[in-house]
Amino acid sequence: MASASGEQTSAEYIQHHLTNLVCGKTPDGWTCDHNAVDQMGFLAFHVDSLGWSIFLGLVFVGLFRLGIPKLSTEAPSGIQNFVEMCIEFVNDNVQSIFTSAKNKLIGPMALTVLVWVFLMNLMDLVPVDYLPTLAGQVAEATGMVENSKDAYFKVVPTTDPNITLGMALAVFVLIIFYSIKIKGLKGFLAELTLHPFGKWMMPVNLVLEGVNLIAKPISLGLRLFGNLYAGEMIFILIALMLTFSSISIGLLGVGLHLIWALFHILILALQAFIFMVLTIVYLAMAHETEDH
Amino acid sequence: MNINATLLGQTLAFVIFVAICWKYVWPPIIAIMEEREKRIADGLEAAKKADDSLEEAQLAFDQEMNKAKAEAAEILEKANSRASQIVNDATAKAEAEAEKILSSASKTIENDVNKAKEELRQKMSELIIDTSEKILGDEISPEKHQELLKKAAEEL
């Protein structure tokens, strides 16, 4: 895009890639106008992140529904193989972490987290300019914006802290829910206040355990966000090399993009896996009843 | 990069997708996998059972075979002993028969000899008496004759 409109500086190019398409409530009512973003309060949605997130969630559900065979227990084939492999992998992980307690929700949730987060991460491999440029062209053609570079479109949902922290929030709510369900309200409060120093140091214990508790969702969400944001940033910087009018730098950029993309496949899968495992571990900890 | 309602939207989406997965994706696939697992386990068990019964049958077969072999050996032995007994019996019978024949033959011979001796004696007595009559020229009464004959035969 930068090469198309020569006025854009490198900083603007990067900034453009890091800005979401926001629709929110301003004092004048709901709007998707980028210039009004500053007037929006909490009631604003990153339509691009959320849209891609929901779309990829539907892809996950569709893929896995397709993987359900016609009630056949014969040797699986094709997509069913893949689906069963995923489920077996997730199930093994869940069962190795959930040794004593049993919870029928954990498996499906871990599967959703793994596949969904992986799909969202995978969007990072789409070259950074493709979808935003397409979105800009569509927006210009439909008259939503006057100039395509005024259309903002951030594709990878997991580079948006709202998305990662949103999932972490759901996990956090589940942690508290199961803590109270399994240990009772008293047991949960006791866990928060009676460790590690005994009951005479209750305030200190509460601070320590409170930080411990709050740190779980924060670290869970920010870890994923940080890794993907950094990866996306590097993709943007590499893409920036292609905007220079030098063939050698451009070729170097192509090579670097390839190398980083290959390496990034590892990070994508790994971060999805880590998110899943930590979700399982945190919930397993919520199910632990014995004192330590 | 500000935090806004997107976060809650994503939380809601998360809950919905987890619920969908929980209700409609996970259970049918897990059920099928478990069923297949069970079928494989059943198959393995059946194979093991078949193996066991084969072993059992082999064992029973071996037992029967050994029994039959032992029986056959016994029968053979019995037959052998019976055969040798028959041979022995026959030999003994033949020997006895031979002895009998031999003894009866020797008896007959003895009888014949005795008979011949008797006849000879008779003839001799008759001859002596006849000769004596002629010499004496005297007729001896038949009674006397007989008495003399007897006497002579006894003396001889």
Query: What would the 3-class secondary structure string for A6-20 be?
Result: CCCCHHHHHHHHCCC
Could you please report the per-residue DSSP string of B28-96?
HHHHHHHHHHHHHHHHHHHHHHHHHHHHHHHHHHHHHHHHHHHHHHHHHHHHHHHHHHHHHHHHHHHHH
The answer to whether position A16 is within a domain reads yes
Residue B140 pLDDT greater than 70, yes or no:
no
The predicted model gives A195-214 an average pLDDT of 86
* Chain A residue with Cα closest to B24: A65
Lowest mean pLDDT among A50-59, A120-129, A193-202: A193-202
Alpha-carbon gap: A185 to the closest alpha carbon of chain B (Å):
23
pLDDT above 70 coverage of chain A, percent: 93
User: What Cα–Cα distance (Å) separates residue A246 from each residue in A13, A240, A253, B83?
Assistant: 18, 12, 11, 118
Active site residues of A: 219, 223, 227
Does A50 touch chain B if contact means CB atoms closer than 8 Å? yes
Residue A143 lies inside a defined structural domain of this protein: yes
As given in the structure block, the two tokens for residue A59 are: 């892809």
Q: Measure B62 CA to nearest chain A CA, in Å.
A: 40
Mean of the pLDDT values across residues A266-288? 93
What is the pLDDT at residue A1?
A: 39
Which region, left, alpha or beta, applies to residue A189 given φ > 0 means left and ψ of -120 to 50 means alpha? alpha
Which residues, in sequence order, are bridge partners of residue A29? A26
Asked if residue A259 belongs to a domain, the reply is yes
Instruction: Answer whether residue A26 is part of any domain.
Output: yes
pLDDT 10s digits, B106-137: 999 999 899 888 888 888 888 888 888 787 76
| Contacts with A44 from chain B: Cβ below 8 Å | 4-6
**B69 close contact with A: CB closer than 8 A:** no
pLDDT of A3 > 50? The answer is: no
CA distance B7 to chain A (A): 4
For residue B87, pLDDT beyond 70: yes
Q: What is residue B90's predicted lDDT score, i.e. its pLDDT?
A: 94
Quick check: A230 pLDDT over 80? yes
- On the question of pLDDT at A270 being above 60, the answer is yes
| B61 part of contact set with chain A, CB < 8 Å | no
Q: What is the pLDDT of residue B95?
A: 93
The pLDDT of A190-195, averaged and rounded, is 83
Instruction: Note whether A136 contacts B: Cβ–Cβ < 8 A.
Output: no
Q: What is the reported pLDDT for B130?
A: 81
Q: Do A49 and B33 touch (CB under 8 A)?
A: no
Mean pLDDT of A7-17: 82
Chain A residue with minimal CA distance to B25? A65
A50/B29 CB distance under 8 A: no
- Of the ranges A211-225, A230-244, B141-155, which is most confident? A211-225
When pLDDT is averaged across residues A253-264 and rounded to a whole number, the result is 93
Residue A32 lies in a domain: yes
Q: State the pLDDT at residue B59.
A: 95
If contacts are CB pairs under 8 Å, which of residues 72-131 in chain B contact chain A? Answer: none
Instruction: Give chain A's mean pLDDT.
Output: 87
Rg over alpha carbons for chain B, rounded to the nearest Å, is 61
- Give residue-wise pLDDT tens across range A77-136: 778 888 888 999 999 999 999 887 788 899 999 999 999 999 999 999 988 888 888 888
A54, A109, A162 member nearest B18 (Cβ): A109
The pLDDT, as a whole number, for residue A40 is 83
pLDDT class for B138, splitting at 50, 70, 90?
low
Residue A19, φ and ψ in degrees, nearest 5? -105, 135
Residues of chain A in contact with residue B30, where contact means CB-CB under 8 angstroms, are: 87, 91, 107
Domain that holds residue A199: 10-287
* Closest CA of chain B from A239, distance in Å: 21
Output the pLDDT for position A2: 40
pLDDT at A34: 80
Determine the residue of chain B that is closest to A75 in CA distance: B36
A83 and B18 in contact by Cβ < 8 A? no
What pLDDT does A41 receive?
Answer: 81
Residue whose structure tokens are 């003895």: B110
For residue B155, is pLDDT > 80? no
pLDDT at A72 (0 to 100): 61
Which positions in chain A touch B40 (Cβ < 8 Å)? none
> What residues of chain A lie within 8 A of the CB of B32, using their CB?
68-69, 71-73
Instruction: Report the domain count for chain A.
Output: 1
A4 part of a folded domain: no
Give B51→chain A minimum CA distance, Å.
Answer: 24
pLDDT tens string A164-175: 999 999 999 999
> Which pLDDT band, with edges at 50, 70 and 90, does A42 fall under?
confident
Helix (H) / strand (E) element for A22: namely: strand A22-26
Q: Return mean pLDDT, chain B.
A: 89
User: Edge-to-edge, what's the strand order for the sheet holding A29-31?
Assistant: A29-31, A22-26, A44-46
pLDDT digits (tens, 9 = 90+) for A147-160: 777 788 888 999 99
Indicate the helix (H) or strand (E) that contains A25. strand A22-26
User: Which A positions 154-213 lie with beta carbon below 8 A of chain B?
Assistant: 157, 160-163, 165-167, 169-170, 173
Confidence band of A139 (pLDDT split at 50, 70, 90): confident
Distance CA A280, CA A2 (A): 44
With a pLDDT cut of 70, the percent of chain B lying above it is 96
